[in-house]
Amino acid sequence: MIDYINGYPAEVTPTYAVLDCNGLGYEINITLIDYPEISTAEKVKLFIHESIREDAHLLFGFLTRRSRELFRLLIGVSGVGPNTARLILSSLTADQLESAIASGHDAALKAVKGIGGKTAQRIIVDLKDKIKASEQAFITSMPAGESFDDSVAALVMLGFSSMQSRKVLQKIFSETPGIATEAAIRQALTML
């Protein structure tokens, strides 16, 4: 069992990284949230989860043990495979995910592409007792409300990615909590 791999990023894309470890290159699936840090690092340590199937031997890497543990909890939920879990951790930070589960905020999970209402509820029900986070942490880390959701939807319709739009809007809504939808969209357009 591999616990972590410490090496030099030989190749980094938003979905995977090849780490050179003493001349041996490991292809490791990564999250979008970890991608910027991995792509700029000279040397990186990734905590590994191995997924061994009949047809593939896959490695999933995370910058923190906490993210890896959340990944393992997610794949333990019926109907959530490794790629779905990676997609969730690409859309929500560890804090946001823990807070969404602890507070029962299924809208944050349903906002992830490919996660429907039933899967979101199953994740919350199965993991609520295993996650310890306060609802207050969720409120500060994830802007909620119609204005935020409408702003994201508008930017996506304009052709920006959901992940990129959410990241910019989270910054805007954290700096100006009561901002109107139109003002948030205009400000986001200047930042994208």
Please indicate, yes or no, whether residues 71 and 54 belong to a single structural domain of this protein. no
Residue 144 has a pLDDT of 52
**Residues 28, 90: one domain?**
no
Mean pLDDT of all residues belonging to the chain: 86
Position 139 confidence tier, pLDDT thresholds 50, 70, 90: very low
CATH classification of the domain holding 38? 2.40.50.140
pLDDT, tens digit (0-9, with 9 covering 90-100), for 159-172: 787 778 888 888 88
How is 55-113 classified by DSSP, letter by letter? S-EEEEEESSHHHHHHHHHHHTSTT--HHHHHHHHHHS-HHHHHHHHHHT-HHHHHTST
Residues 57 and 72 grouped into a single domain: no
Q: Mark whether 77 and 112 lie in a shared domain.
A: yes
Q: In the predicted model, what is the mean pLDDT of residues 31-60? A: 93
Same domain, 25 and 54: yes
**For the chain, how many structural domains are there in total?**
3
Return the CATH number at 178: 1.10.8.10
| Residue 132 backbone dihedrals phi, psi, to 5 degrees | -120, 100
What mean pLDDT is predicted for residues 13-21? Answer: 95
pTM of the model: 0.67
What pLDDT does residue 111 have?
87
* Separation CA 129–CA 148 (nearest Å): 29
Q: Could you tell me the sign of the dihedral formed by the alpha carbons of 90, 94, 98, 99, in that order?
A: negative
**Residue 117 sits in the same domain as residue 148:** no
Q: Indicate whether 72 and 105 sit together in one domain.
A: yes
* Residue corresponding to tokens 């954290």: 174
Both 158 and 96 in one domain: the answer is no
pLDDT higher than threshold 50 for residue 133: no
If asked whether residues 82 and 136 sit together in one domain, one would say yes
Per-residue pLDDT tens digits for 63-109? 999 999 999 999 999 989 999 999 999 999 888 898 889 888 888 89
Given 12, 39, 62, which residue is the final one in a domain?
62
Average pLDDT over residues 101-128: 89
Structure tokens at 136: 């207050």
Q: What is the extent of the structural domain holding 15?
A: 4-62
102 and 160 in a single domain? The answer is no
